[in-house]
Amino acid sequence: MKIQKEWQVAIKNFLPISAVAITAFINDSPELALAMYSAIGCYGIYMDANQEDTNKFIKFIKDNPEAFTATIVKTNEFKKGFVVTFGEYLKSRSRKKREIIQRIFLGFTTEKDKEDFQLEKLYSTLANISLEAIKYLKFIEIEIIPTTKEPPDPNPEKRKRFITEFITEFITKDKKNEDLDKEKHKLNEISSELVSLGIWRNQYYAGSLGKHPVKQEAEFTKFGLDFIKFLDTTSL
């Protein structure tokens, strides 16, 4: 079904730059029309001001027909998620973060229980996290987690050692004093950021008697483990 003439005129007047691409998208994917109309109402100015990103988001939707099926996209939960996601995508200044937004949205789209999917929290965390911290999380996922005998667990009672202990052990190997100090300082800075974002949680426990009676380490939270699932990109 072709887009109604009244809507074509309205879109062309409201979005003089992006009208052609958006109209073609709605004609090709009429099941997404209502979601797109809502996105236009909320972020029309962003769409025209960021035509290239608008086109890339539309292409992303078209390139994943197995995820964006008619059954899924007709639900209210999906439509609301679509509007939120389109806005976050257009507002993000980072290409790397826009790639992660796409992964998060695919995860949301294929999740059966969309009500409990922390879409807004994931986007908020992504907006506030530094690219340096994202790269550090990838370093942990690639270099640290595979070497541990126990996977990260947000339950401290199930942990014999915490993630920061494994990191410290890794960076201590074959490092000169000057380099080691830099790595430890970097770990402290990243740890503070990740704790503030809710990706890590500080853990306190008794150390050796008479030496560091209370030790502080950090471990992934459940949310943090969910967050790193969407960071799999070779461009970082």
pLDDT of 8 strictly over 90: no
DSSP for 179-221, please give it: HHHHHHHHHHHHHHHHHHTTSEEEEEEE-STTS-SEEEEEEE-
CA–CA dist 140, 134 (Å, integer): 10
Least confident span in 17-26, 76-85, 159-168, 201-210: 201-210
Average pLDDT over residues 151-164: 73
pLDDT of 95 strictly over 70: yes
Average pLDDT over residues 94-112: 96
Average pLDDT over residues 54-59: 94
* Of 173 and 227, more confident: 227
pLDDT (0 to 100) of residue 49: 84
Amino acid at 204: Y
Band of residue 192 on the pLDDT scale cut at 50, 70, 90: very high
Domain 131-228 sits in CATH 1.10.10: yes
Measure Cα distances from 123 to 24, 84, 100 in Å: 28, 9, 9
Pick the closest to residue 94 from 133, 59, 36, 40 (CA basis).
Answer: 133
- Identify whether the C-beta of residue 194 lies closer than 8 Å to the C-beta of residue 133: yes
CA–CA dist 13, 9 (Å, integer): 6
pLDDT (0 to 100) of residue 228: 94
pLDDT (0 to 100) of residue 236: 46
Amino acid at 9: V
CB atoms within 10 A of CB 92: 19
pLDDT (0 to 100) of residue 229: 92
- The residues of the chain that CATH labels 1.10.10 are 131-228
pLDDT (0 to 100) of residue 158: 66
Taking the CA atoms of residue 93, residue 98, residue 99 and residue 103 in that order, the dihedral angle to the nearest 10 degrees is: 160
Q: How many helices (H) and strands (E) does the chain have?
A: 12, 2
β-pairing verdict for 200-206 and 214-220: antiparallel
Rg (C-alpha) for the chain, rounded Å, is 22
User: Locate tokens 């294929």: which residue?
Assistant: 110
182-187: Cβ within 8 A, 24+ apart: 186/136
How confident is the prediction for the chain on average, in pLDDT? 86
